[in-house]
Structure formats: structure tokens, C-alpha cells
Amino acid sequence: MATLVVGASGATGKQLVEQLLRMEQTVKLIVRPTAKIPESWKNNDSVSIIEASISQIPVDEMIAYLNDCQSVASCLGHNLNLKGIYGKPGKLVTDAVKLLCMAIQKSSPDKPIKLVLMSTTGYRNRGVGESISIGEKLVMGVIRLLVPPQLDNEKAADFLRMNIGQQNKSIDWVVVRPDTLINEDHVTEYELYGSPIRSALFNPGKTSRINVGNFMARLVAENNLWDKWKGQMPVIYNK
């Protein structure tokens, strides 16, 4: 069984794919036709590459891609330029999550498919009563207006929390929330919490992309770890 990865060509998505391969997992990648991916993936029998824009994939086609998958992982994000932040598709992450969930549910799997979504500590999990200060609320309100990808990330996580929920017969999910992303060459020790332990705006921590990739890959590969965090939104910080 394979893991379908969307957003695999991004900085964190590449780390996730490499970690999955290190764990001897089979992966399917959906990448844009113009995306740059490592040559080593193209010559790896454990990697299947699907060149397509996820925003243009119909549900029935996605069902076919999911046919032999036991898990799905999304590291989708918006490019940090004017077109990526303010252009179309404005709801890239949310629409992709909805598409994946619709395809999974229509395929009626024998057991729930694991869905791992990369989000951000800027998202507040209201399902467990997370609260922030008035100052943070004001700043976050401005960010949502000026930086549409923030709202997109929030709506994607909200869709899993409110629309898919905890008792779905076809989908189990985990939303992974890193803090300020940095680049490192090796996996290092990291800490996991059910909710943020510091302010994402006024006292942010750091999380390396390779650590995010490692944790997401472990969720796919390690059932005990999955059972611990299923239906939750763990926050990951570098130790």
C-alpha cells in the first residue's frame, strides 16, 4: 500500500517524501507538470509520479489515484510571491482537502484512510478550547485580511475538524502544526504538544522542515504514534 503525497515539490513536501522513502514506504506524488523534483525520485521504483494540477483533478480521477493508498499527506502551500498569495486558486489547500476527502469517501475503503495535513501554529484549534490574547486576535484578523493563505490554511483544518470529525468511517486525520519553519540538513530531537505552548506571533518557536517531514512520515508508518494523535492537531517544535 502506498502514501499519496500532494505538495511534494515544496520545501517541506520534499522532506516528507525523503523521510517516507527512508522508512521504506511506497509513495505516489501529485506534482505540477512544471515542478522541479529530484532526479533520484524519477529512477526509484518506490515512487510513482503523477503530473497534474490538483485544482483541476476531478473526483473520479482522484479516486483512481487513491486506489492502492492507505494514507494521504498534504504539504500544500501557496508560493510566497504576489501571484501565489493573491492569485488563483485562492483556496488551494482547502479545496484540495475537500477533494481528497470526497474521493476517499466515494471510494468506500474497507478501513479508514489516514490523512495527514500540514498546517501552522497560527491556526487555533477551537475544538479543544484553545485561546489567544486580544492582541493576538487583532493581529491575526489583520493577517487574514492581508494574507489570504492564512485563512485558507485555517479553513482546511476546520473542514477536517467540523465536517469530517472524529467518527468518520472512511477517514482518520491528524493536522500537524509546525511553528516558524527553518531549514536543517538532519533530523534532530523535537517536541510534540496537543496545543501551542507559546505565542505564534509574539514568542514563536522554530521547527525544521525535515523534522516536520519525519513526524508526518512516522504518523504514516507507525500505528502506535498514529493512534496517539488521531483526530488531534499536534504542535511540533525543535527541541
pLDDT tens-digit profile, the chain (239 residues): 899 999 999 999 999 999 999 999 999 999 988 888 999 999 999 999 999 999 899 999 999 999 999 999 999 975 554 454 455 666 899 999 999 999 999 999 999 999 999 999 999 999 999 988 888 888 888 877 777 778 899 999 999 999 999 999 999 999 999 999 999 999 999 999 999 999 988 999 999 999 999 999 999 999 999 999 999 999 999 99
Report residue 167: phi and psi, to 5°. Answer: -120, 25
Residue 73 · residue 216 · CB < 8 Å: yes
CATH superfamily of 2-238: NAD(P)-binding Rossmann-like Domain (3.40.50.720)
Alpha helices in 55-118 (DSSP H): 59-65, 82-86, 92-107
Residue 212 · residue 178 · CB < 8 Å: yes
Apex 116 CA angle, 114 and 122, nearest 5? 150
Report residue 140: phi and psi, to 5°. Answer: -65, -35
- Residues 135-155, buried b or exposed e (16+ Cβ, 10 A)? ebeeebeeeeeebbbbbbbbb
Residue 3 · residue 213 · CB < 8 Å: no
